[in-house]
Structure 1
Amino acid sequence: MRNTWNPTRRNRNIGTSKAGHSENNKLVIPSRFLEWKIFWEIIDDYKVHTREINGRIVKFIVEHNHRNHMHCCSVDDVAFLLTVLPVEDWEGINLFIFRQPKRKEEILSSVWGRLGYNVDIGSFKGPAIILESIDLSKPLIWKKSLNPETVIELERMKQDGHKVTLNKREYIIEISQDSVRATQLYRTLLHEIGHWVQWDTIVLKPSSEGFDRNELEENYFRIPSNEKEVFAHRYADIIREKLIENNVIPFGRKDNEENV
């Protein structure tokens, strides 16, 4: 009878990811033990500011910056822009967060900002718009081969004042406080409110009329992400054009002793 075990034969999966090789070396965003929050809900060293906007109390959480990072928009920049937007478009959002991303987050999940549908920070639970602080000492590097959506985004960045150069392999995007402020204030903030408008239209309003909330949410999250992006971009573009036509934007940075 042949011995089925041959010590000279190696399993073809040894040393590969199927056998767990390098699993501990993968760059991942760490989570804290026994904490079920999404990584961007974890805010450590922050101050809370309050503003009254169109008769509503709105809170602003500002996390402390580090490592050459800067919050390129101020609290009052955002507060002022909210005063000129349709109130019903951002109704229900009572928290805006100026967040300091961790190093691994910048590598794996770098964004200008995001919408949190239901964040849990301190005593606050509810929707929030988050704007990330940016390291102004490092240019952004994009691969030379761009898909159509990224080509459009690159043009938007040029319009915002970012300096874009192309070498043989990649785009180098040099950023500044002013160019990042233009992107986050006049595009990102409006874009995230656009996501909220779609969420409100598909989930919140029908839910208030008696439709099943769970089913509505499932329907919303079945929408392809690229379709959601198209909706948010379209909303932001329409609002932005109106604000420019009415000479509302661009406007100078608004600061006081409490500001970022």
Structure 2
Amino acid sequence: MPVSERVLRVLIPLVMLAMLIGLWAWYVAAYNIPKYILPGPNLVAQSLVNDWPILGMALLVTLKITFAALAIALVGGVALAILLTQSKWIELALSPYMVILQVTPVVAIAPLILIYAPSTQAALLICAWIVAFFPVLSNTTQGLKSTDHNLLNLFELYGASRWQTMIHLKLPAALPYFLAGLRIAGGLALIAAVVAEFAAGSAGAGSGLAFRLLESQYRLNIPRLFAALILLCATGVVIYGATSLISHLLLRRWHESAIRREN
């Protein structure tokens, strides 16, 4: 990719962001909007700096739940996807329950999870895992099923065992699908961690950003509320960027989705 195109890829979003912030600041100043309704970007930035000890600790709590749920979803999703593709009967037996688990709103089942989980943090982790699990499972299963039949016949011709075929053919072929599921699950894990904390109503020193959002709302500390929202948005963008970078690094040399066209 030419250097000028790389610069434009970074410069254009930054210019758009600067324009939006400028429009925001102009609107607040031009119409004299009270800070308890819509604070200006300067007040939000000031709150972000002054309240960083509180917001930073809350962000760490949310990130801990997010990444723990994502890690468990990745391991469990890939393992179950491999199991499902090994037997049609296992897939028929488990698929309906996995779909039910996915389509049930996490807010609806969070109270039950809070009752049976050993702690509030464990309940939040379970809620986040439920939401992040299905994209990994679904995409990886689809990838394992999408292996080229001609290559499967070739492996059979050379007498490869089932696990040799899985490790050397099916898993590499499913990698693009898995990475697509990873990008989706990363954002969903963050969303689920926040939603689960809303449903749990957890508070105190070990609370995450969701509680700080509610606390700011109840106290009409709108600048801090906006600062917490900006932290959440920035975290989501970073997670998506990191997963996209991992996908690019793993696929850039061989998969069509990451290879630049010559013409």
Structure-2-length-normalised TM-score: 0.28
Point out the structure with the larger strand share: 1
Query: Which structure dedicates a bigger proportion of its chain to helix?
Result: 2
Question: What TM-score, normalized by structure 1, do the two folds share?
Answer: 0.28
| Structure of higher RCO (CA pairs closer than 8 Å, 6+ residues apart) | 2
